Amino acid sequence: MSVSSLAGSVGLVIGVANKRSIAWAIARGAGARQARLVLTYQNDRLAENVRELAGQLTEPVVLPCDVTDDDQIDALFAAIDERFGRLDFLVHGAAYADQDSLKRPYVETTREGFLKALDISAYSLVALARRAAPLMEKAGGGSIVTLSYLGSQRVFPNYNVMGVAKAALECSVRYLASELGPSNIRVNAVSAGPIKTLAASGIAGFSSILQTYRDRAPLRRTVDTDEVADAALFLLGPEGRAVTGEVLLVDGGYHIMGL
């Protein structure tokens, strides 16, 4: 990919938590490709991390956004409109399930835990896409990429309600792609193999999942955040201009294996 393929474009990246975040790897790659970036932080606890990372980019904008708060989402997009007047791409990396929902059997998932996981991990894509669409129309079109995992399709130990949320997320990708396509807005997901991120740290037995991928994936290894970012950047940039409604698996081929 040409390092200038995103030159001059305006991108919003949701979900940067620390330097191990997939969202951060995408932001770093987009910055290297000369995109102008807006990064968000969920709360004051994460603000310092995001601002420190943003210092590695060229003139980034860092703004608060709790994706469960419609007022904050509205304020975010109003600020983007005022500063740039357009939006070319959106990276959605927001996901959450409380520890109780991940540790207990899925059948014991509480209503509150279920709704929280679906709200943050799936509905937030819808809420963000709705606000992004008018700004992307101003730009003549745009690209939205979200992050998923194979637990949306298959059962993984202790993934539980997050797998259900990712299934809803992937279905939302298809419906949004259908509805926003006439405005030249593409919507896709990248389904990454297991990576030691902050989110993954809450899944019991995660190390055994990593080893299973090393043992059984055709490439006999796991993947890293830069490899996932490269796939996302393909979908965000002009090289992916004919791709929409897709869930692109970047997992060393693990998903093709039966045993």
**Among all residues, which ones are annotated catalytic?**
149, 159
What are the strands, taking DSSP E only, across the chain?
Answer: 10-14, 36-41, 61-64, 89-92, 142-148, 185-192, 247-250
Distance CA 224, CA 213 (A): 13
Distance CA 179, CA 128 (A): 14
Least Cα distance to 89 among 46, 29, 179, 42 occurs for 29
Distance CA 128, CA 112 (A): 22
Distance CA 110, CA 29 (A): 39
- Please say whether the beta carbons of 53 and 64 come within 8 A: no
Count H helices, E strands: the chain?
A: 9, 7
Q: Which SS3 state, helix, strand or coil, does residue 248 take? A: strand
- Please say whether the beta carbons of 23 and 93 come within 8 A: yes
User: CA gyration radius for the chain?
Assistant: 17
